[in-house]
Chains A and B, each alone.
Chain A
Amino acid sequence: DQQVKQNSPSLSVQEGRISILNCDYTNSMFDYFLWYKKYPAEGPTFLISISSIKDKNEDGRFTVFLNKSAKHLSLHIVPSQPGDSAVYFCAALIQGAQKLVFGQGTRLTINP
């Protein structure tokens, strides 16, 4: 049973436009959420996170939004750049536990 779901396997966006990656979760015990970015032949790298007590966190071009009632979070990248082309994983942490649960990933392609 996939507790963290990224329903879009791929997304293509024009350079300079906004990229929006979505993630849904089912477990109400998740209280911390993270986004990781992965390039081919490399390990994932941490991008941005958000606690369940907030609804928005911003870091430069990256903003994560959390809608707890809908159990939904999204990552906005603006403006999108060619170097943003990668696979993006959403991940969630259960309250009090050290187990990170990942989504399936979304492959983002930024077109020039």
Chain B
Amino acid sequence: NAGVTQTPKFQVLKTGQSMTLQCAQDMNHEYMSWYRQDPGMGLRLIHYSVGAGITDQGEVPNGYNVSRSTTEDFPLRLLSAAPSQTSVYFCASSYGVIRDSPLHFGNGTRLTVT
């Protein structure tokens, strides 16, 4: 079991470039989510999905798109990168309701936008 796998581990983008952060889990988890971690801000929810074909916005969704075509994958797209999107991004998944099955996190993608 690999758990939650995030790729790449590190990425540097120029302002205006687009890219996709990949997230895959092999635990057959229905719930998947993306967080960003910034100094002094903790982790903030970007988007989440409660199952294939269903996505919803979190606290800070602007500038990011997601889709969930399979149970295993939940990619995060940056359409036009901005320096304010410099952050560490974490993908997390859960079997079902979070109170019954706490989130499992990947090891993060560190993104720098210049």
B102 CB to nearest chain A CB (Å): 4
Contact across chains for A102 and B103 when beta carbons are under 8 A apart: no
Q: Is B97 an interface residue (CB 8 A)?
A: yes
Stretch from A11-19, A60-68, A72-80, A93-101 forming part of the interface with B: A93-101
Binds A, one of B39-47, B66-74, B79-87: B39-47
Chain A residues with CB under 8 A of B59 = 99, 101
A-B residue pairs in contact (CB < 8 Å), sample of 6: A46-B103, A89-B42, A91-B43, A100-B98, A100-B103, A104-B40
Determine if A59 is an interface residue (Cβ-Cβ < 8 Å): no
Instruction: Using C-beta atoms within 8 Å of the partner chain, give the interface range for chain B.
Output: 20 to 34
**Chain B contacts with A in 65-114, Cβ cutoff 8 A:** 90, 92, 97-99, 102-108
Chain B residues packing against A (C-beta within 8 Å): 4, 31, 33, 35, 40-45, 48, 50, 58-59, 90, 92, 97-99, 102-108
User: In whole angstroms, how far apart are the Cα atoms of A32 and B40 in the complex?
Assistant: 23
Report yes or no: A43 in contact with B90, Cβ–Cβ below 8 A: yes
**Contact residue among A45, A49, A99, A103 (Cβ-Cβ distance under 8 Å from B105):** A45
- Shortest C-beta distance, B44 to chain A (Å), equals 7
